Amino acid sequence: MDVIEPATEQVLETVATTDPGELDAIVARARAAQREWHAAAPRDRAQALRRIADGLEAELDELARLEARNVGMPIGDARFCVQSAADTFRYCSAGPERLLGETIPVAGGVDMTFREPIGVVGLITPWNFPLMIESWKVAPALAAGNGVVLKPSELTPLTAHALARIGAAAGLPDGLFTVIHGEGPTVGRALVDHPGIGKIGFTGSTAVGKDIARRAAEKIARVTLELGGKSASVVFADADLRAAADGLRGAVFGNSGQDCCARSRVFVQRPAVEEFLGLLDEVVAGTVVGDPLDEATHMGPLISAKQRDRVRGYVDGAPVRTTGSAPDGPGYWFAPTVLHPIADDHPAAREEIFGPVVSVLPFDTEDEAVTRANDSVYGLAGSIWTGDAQRSLRVARRIDAGALAVNSYSGVRVHTPFGGFKQSGTGRELGPHAVESYTEVKNVFFSTGT
């Protein structure tokens, strides 16, 4: 399976695909290793996870370069993602020693609960933030005492290999954490359907998430699904317009817009629209699109020619206000683009584009902004920009989204829960909920004979 570098369109590396017939042996090894792992002292498991965090940090620059080349993300963003992966393992390393049960008052004895691992879990991760999102799933699954079979995207599998190698060096039992390769309809589907997989953790499109949920339901497997988004940013006239516009360089053009949290719908209160658009024009003009390994680059290429064509399909014929610049020649380049004026029901304003395209939509009242922001099948993330503290909390409580930020576009952190409403998914990753989501609650009653 050839892995293509998006900035050059050349083969970066070749990896061997997994035959679905191999899964029986892979899952059996993971189950045997899982029993050993769960039986180990919580302190020993915690130390192994901390060693993985240390290993990621020791190779931070090398892994960041590999991620930047494989994904096309700017090198600075890639460093952030590797560090975030290390931070996630370090945070989850507290899990083995802090997965606490309860004692419950009952008649005739004592009742206790235990958090038990599910067994062997299957994790399927996307191509846009490979190592970081892999850590969101692998770290809590291991912390809870599970075995792991990870299928990274066939487009960006390279750092998953490094993570498995670092895990082995950190002392994970042989077979506990295995990386498999292949396309979703073959290898991914076989992983979901395998009877030895007790849970699927998936990040990707809503359409694939629905199929996984149906398949998992056939065997009553647990699922955590982090799916699509069409996140809204609501900018009131009293907001810091400069900060709201400047932040979109990362919030909608970051990683070339290939971010399920991208604030691709920006509702701006009508008195501030023209000023905001002028500021956003400056942001677009100043966004450097180019070599991902260049420290000055803000935005690299899209992941593939297929994705570039998909993004172009939304922009062709749409009301384009501003377009930035992008390199010519090899590479899947697409310039940052602002659409205005545009109707709420235009496909570019309703569907997840997964590219560097933002729609600016005027509004008049607070109620109107909330109603229109919520008029979406998605509910992943969003932002509220205002100088009115009461309004910020009022609007935040009314927006149907799982990860909101006020006067900021930063709504995802290692220490806080992340996940969506509606068709953006089910379950939560990160924060204290993550490790618990890879456990089952066992109840045990002890009779005292009275």
| Residues marked as catalytic | 226
Closest to 177 measured CA to CA, from 140, 153, 147, 146: 147
Cα distances from 376 to residues 229, 340, 399, in angstroms, run 9, 19, 11
Tokens 């172009």 found at: 312
Handedness of CA 168, 172, 174, 179 (dihedral sign): negative
Tokens 């509220």 found at: 384
Q: Are strands 147-151 and 177-179 parallel, antiparallel or unpaired?
A: parallel
Count of Cβ atoms closer than 10 Å to residue 403 Cβ: 25
**Chain centre distance of CA 1:** 24
Q: Which two tokens stand for residue 103?
A: 């004692």
The span from the CA of 228 to the CA of 128, in Å, is 12
Cα distances from 412 to residues 133, 383, 405, 439, in angstroms, run 12, 12, 9, 23
Count of Cβ atoms closer than 10 Å to residue 15 Cβ: 17
Looking at the DSSP bridge assignments, the partners of residue 10 are 5
The span from the CA of 427 to the CA of 399, in Å, is 18
The span from the CA of 233 to the CA of 245, in Å, is 11
The span from the CA of 242 to the CA of 269, in Å, is 14
Buried b (16+ CB within 10 A) or exposed e, 317-328: ebeebbebebee
Number of helices (H), then strands (E), belonging to the chain: the values are: 17, 20
Looking at the DSSP bridge assignments, the partners of residue 425 are 226
The span from the CA of 407 to the CA of 445, in Å, is 50
- SS3 of 121-164: the string is EEEECCCCCHHHHHHHHHHHHHHCCCEEEEECCCCCCHHHHHHH
Peptide bond into 126 cis (omega under 30): no
The span from the CA of 435 to the CA of 142, in Å, is 9
Tokens 């009877």 found at: 195
